[in-house]
Chain A
């Protein structure tokens, strides 16, 4: 077998164990819920099934309109997180023989971009809640 075939086999082997564990987890939850169904009392009343609102009857509906104040953070987060993912493949080789100083400069350019983006957001007042 070639080296890449062996690597691929290892890869699938390790993730199949992870998959098996996921099955174990799903079984655990299913058994717990099933056993719970057998053990617990079921005595529903209309009052019990009412949405909890400090003891008074609920006003309006639960899916109320709310002001989502941090949606700008969400944009920032998506931009930065997508950028940062690229750090990982780079991190494994940047100090390997033949790289060194050049990749380090590249890293500072990358960090510079992130820092400038953050400073810009800060200057714009995006990082303030109100």
Chain B
């Protein structure tokens, strides 16, 4: 019976994180972007600095008519938002926020492998949306998403392989337990490659050409309205949380920090995630959009060679210190 309760509590906790943190990031984006651009951002909803803006948005989305274009592939069109959203929920379960067994949704043995595999599924949602809409803008957006997948997936894989080599395990808590402070400079190149590739996966600026609103309306999501559109947006913000959390646990030591092992670990994890999320927002405000081919060139001529160099460095150092 206790096992059942234990599992239920873990699932509820993961689900709560899944619903709350993306909203926090979204609200932070409203405010941070606004202040960087000399505006105030939302100030009305909820009273205090517009804290309830996203709740109000959610209420608005739920009341909107759900339009499925007559020419669209109906079932696929309707399922796409769920396919885009749910993989991120599954990834959250494997990310530890503290050192103990209680601080992770569920320890998955081949955690790194699981995380990479499931993350890749989310992109299918965009592809399904792009194809099923039967809209030229959506199709272009979907094709760009596919192109982007080819560009970032490999550097991401190689960067993570480097961490797995350093720790000698593919379990995420295992990697965290093996972490030492000097891994930070040692794995910094891999960390940058992973983070940049992650931004491309999330289709966040400067890699937002699949949704480039000034050229192809809103890419794969052009035909979506109401709740389904809201789920796509939610997927983007859970994606930011997941990317920042993965960068934190794989490269920045997760719960390591002063008193990290004595109960304050989760504070460190959340703090690092928050700082990275801030960087993601900051990049959106400050960088112009790349072209699709510029992303390909960046990936194949910069990120992949860098990741291979990082693997070589990791291998040499690891064998040398043994």
Contact = CB atoms under 8 A, between A and B. Distances in A.
Interface of A: 10-11, 14-15, 17-18, 20-22, 24-26, 28-29, 32-33, 35-37, 39-44, 46, 48-54, 58, 61-64, 66, 68-70, 73-74, 76-77, 80-81, 84-85, 87-88, 91-97, 100-101, 103-104, 107-108, 111, 114-115, 118, 121-122, 127-130
Contact of A21 (B105, B226, B293, B300): B105
B316 A70 contact: no
Contact of A95 (B78, B90, B319): B319
16 contacts: A14-B106, A17-B7, A17-B10, A21-B15, A29-B81, A33-B227, A52-B217, A58-B71, A69-B293, A76-B150, A81-B153, A87-B311, A88-B164, A88-B170, A91-B164, A129-B292
Contact of B297 (A10, A11, A115, A127): A127
Interface stretch (B188-196, B239-247, B301-309): B301-309
A71 to B, nearest CB: 9
A95 B150 contact: no
Nearest to B147: A70
Given A51-B223, A73-B150, A84 B67 contact: no
Given A61-B71, A88-B164, A104 B315 contact: yes
A18 B106 CA distance: 8
B217 to A, nearest CB: 7
Interface string B278-302: 0000000000000011001100110
Given A18-B90, A29-B85, A111-B312, A88 B113 contact: yes
A41 B318 contact: no
Contacts of A66: 139-140, 143
Given A26-B86, A51-B135, A62-B135, 8 more contacts: A18-B94, A51-B69, A51-B133, A62-B136, A94-B315, A104-B316, A115-B308, A130-B293
- In the A-B complex, the 4 residue pairs with the closest CB atoms: A129-B293, A62-B134, A49-B70, A91-B165
Given A32-B231, A91-B165, A92-B164, A63 B139 contact: yes
B86 A22 contact: yes
Nearest to B144: A70
Interface of chain B, main secondary structure: helix
Interface of chain A, main secondary structure: helix
Contact residues on B (Cβ < 8 Å of other chain), bracket: 35 or more
A98 B311 CA distance: 21
B277 interface: no
Contacts of B147: 70, 73
Given A24-B15, A52-B222, A114-B308, A36 B62 contact: yes
Contacts of B105: 17, 21
Contacts of B158: 84, 87
A18 B108 contact: yes
Given A36-B66, A61-B71, A127 B300 contact: yes
Given A52-B137, A127-B300, A21 B11 contact: yes
A29 B108 contact: no
Given A18-B90, A80-B154, A127-B301, A107 B62 contact: no
Nearest to B106: A17
B214 interface: no
